[in-house]
Amino acid sequence: MPTRFIVLSHPLRADAPTWPGNPPAAEIELRDAIERGDVANTTVLRLFSHSGTHVDTPWHFNPNGPAAWQLPIERFVFEAPRLLDLPCSDSEAITRARLEAHSDTIAAADLLLLRTGWAINRPLDPRRFVEDGPLLDPEAAHWLVDRHPDLRAIATDAVSIGSPSQPEVSVEIHHALTGVGRADGRFVLIYEDVDIVPEVARAIRIYAWPLFIDGADGSPVTIVAELAS
């Protein structure tokens, strides 16, 4: 079957919107330049692990959970991605009841993509995009982890699965998804600030590999969806 690929990551730029208080998304310095007489072009990159399109691995919130480089590579490949269109307003929580209306779709997913429509604010009003974004209700987060054993990851087009408008609730959401306090070691990867375009509904596979950096809790990612033609 012929396939094509689309990128679901935003290009990582120095001015990309970030969670309040975080350092700049990236610092990109041209070290050597052919136009200055050097033999090659080289750049120095300084990256924050939670900037742009990125993954939260368990160790981000769970001291007993694995980090990106400790997970097998196949953990970042998804054979059953499923899209949910869930338009949200400012600081709106996606509730368990709202998700239960899509129970069959969620039950079939190994990666659940939440398209809230919030990404429209990313270029138009970056402050609003960051500070007033939607979030996943903690009860909904627990329901996803507890009742859906095939679910391995969740993605959002907002800056985070939480929201700066509700910092304590945001910690609770991340605890639920990263497996804090669980004896069974269960967790769900979290992909944030993803460019969830409508075409992803036709994805037959999604690749979402982080940089494998020893010591990093998470990482920017290049997410690629494979679509059936």
The end-to-end CA distance of the chain, in Å, is 8
Distances (CA, A) of 157 to 21, 24, 36, 166: 20, 19, 40, 18
Question: What's phi and psi for 141, nearest 5 deg?
Answer: -65, -45
Residue 180 burial (C-beta neighbours within 10 Å; 0-12, 13-18, 19+):
middle
- Please tell me the predicted confidence (pLDDT) of residue 189: 98
The pair of structure tokens assigned to 58 is 């368990």
Question: Does the structure show a pLDDT above 80 at 229?
Answer: no
- Please tell me the predicted confidence (pLDDT) of residue 127: 96
The whole-angstrom separation of Cα 183 and Cα 198 is 37
Element (H or E) spanning 115, and its range? strand 111-115
Ordered structural domains, the chain, with CATH = 3-7+49-228 (3.50.30.50)
The whole-angstrom separation of Cα 7 and Cα 201 is 14
The whole-angstrom separation of Cα 45 and Cα 28 is 5
* pTM summary value: 0.96
What is the torsion angle, in degrees rounded to the nearest 10, for the CA atoms of residue 28, residue 33, residue 39 and residue 43? 0
pLDDT digits (tens, 9 = 90+) for 128-171: 999 999 999 999 999 999 999 999 999 999 999 999 999 999 99
Rounded mean pLDDT of the chain? 96
pLDDT digits (tens, 9 = 90+) for 170-181: 999 999 999 999
Question: Does the structure show a pLDDT above 60 at 1?
Answer: no
Q: Taken in order 123, 128, 130, 132, is the CA torsion positive or negative?
A: negative
Question: Does the structure show a pLDDT above 90 at 228?
Answer: no
Element (H or E) spanning 106, and its range? helix 103-107
